[in-house]
Amino acid sequence: MKPDVTLNGLSMSGLGWLRESISFPTPASQTNTIIVPGRNSPIRYTEALGRVSYQPRSFQITLSMLGNRSEFNQVVSSTANQLAGRLAEVILSEEPELYCVGTVQLAPAYDPKNGKGTLSISCEDGDAYRYHTEITVVTVGSGTAVLSNDYMPVIPRIVVTEETSFKWRVGTDEFSKTVSAGTWTFPELELAHGKNSIQITTKTTAGTVTFRYREGRL
């Protein structure tokens, strides 16, 4: 399969571009240190909130095409009018299950000697995490729900059909909630990487609980 990249559902190969190179480096962590006189090691706040936070993701994609300048200008114009300066969802053909989000900037160039044009697509403010293209949906009744999650911490949206009680644990802390039918989010219910267990008790055996969340990873 020919390597491709889509931005907001728009295939670059479909427009006539050939993907030459792509760089998606892992975003740097947000770091803050304080040097204290008399200490041999600094105080590090990289995980001050209990986990690592990251700088915006930057990436660059280089596309090319062969043809005369008029053909090149037409393809650049079509691409730029749809994408330049826009917030885009970027999907690589090698990883169709993940997408990046960021504002893309376009920089075209044409070499008349070789009849080759290039288009550099860059982003400096991308979200640190790459998201799953499919939202995870889990529907259960009374009992223990086990919610699997990728590396990005996420708070699920919960839909209950009747009065329902929840109990769960985060580290050594225990939490409980009782809610009526409706849609809810609990800030304390943040899914960590791996399997997260939640005890559910519905008012009747007909009650159901649906968890919806989008997973992500670096």
**What is the CATH classification number for the domain harbouring 89?**
2.40.30.200
Q: Does 85 share its domain with 9? A: yes
Q: Does 122 share its domain with 142? A: no
What is the total count of domains within the chain? Answer: 2
In this prediction, residue 27 has a pLDDT band, given cuts at 50, 70 and 90, of very high
Q: Does 164 share its domain with 203? A: yes
Q: Does 111 share its domain with 24? A: yes
Token reading at 190: 């943040």
- According to the model, what pLDDT value does residue 47 have? 65
Residues 29-39: what's their mean pLDDT?
81
- According to the model, what pLDDT value does residue 43 have? 73
Last residue of a domain, one of 113, 132, 151: 132
CATH code assigned at 200: 2.60.120.260
Q: Does 61 share its domain with 86? A: yes
Q: Does 202 share its domain with 114? A: no
Q: Does 193 share its domain with 171? A: yes
The whole-angstrom separation of Cα 147 and Cα 218 is 20
The whole-angstrom separation of Cα 30 and Cα 4 is 32
Using only C-alpha atoms, the chain has a radius of gyration, in whole angstroms, of: 23
- According to the model, what pLDDT value does residue 48 have? 60
- According to the model, what pLDDT value does residue 174 have? 93
- For residue 191, is pLDDT > 80? yes
Q: Does 21 share its domain with 125? A: yes
- pTM reported for the whole predicted model: 0.87
Last residue of a domain, one of 115, 132, 149: 132
Q: Does 141 share its domain with 128? A: no
The whole-angstrom separation of Cα 193 and Cα 130 is 15
Last residue of a domain, one of 65, 98, 132: 132
User: Over the stretch 59-88, which tens digit does the pLDDT of each residue have?
Assistant: 999 999 999 999 999 999 999 999 999 999
| Residues 6+ positions from 57 with CB-CB distance below 8 Å | 24, 25, 27, 100, 102, 123, 126, 127, 128
Q: Does 94 share its domain with 78? A: yes
- For residue 33, is pLDDT > 90? no
Q: 116 lies in which domain range?
A: 5-132
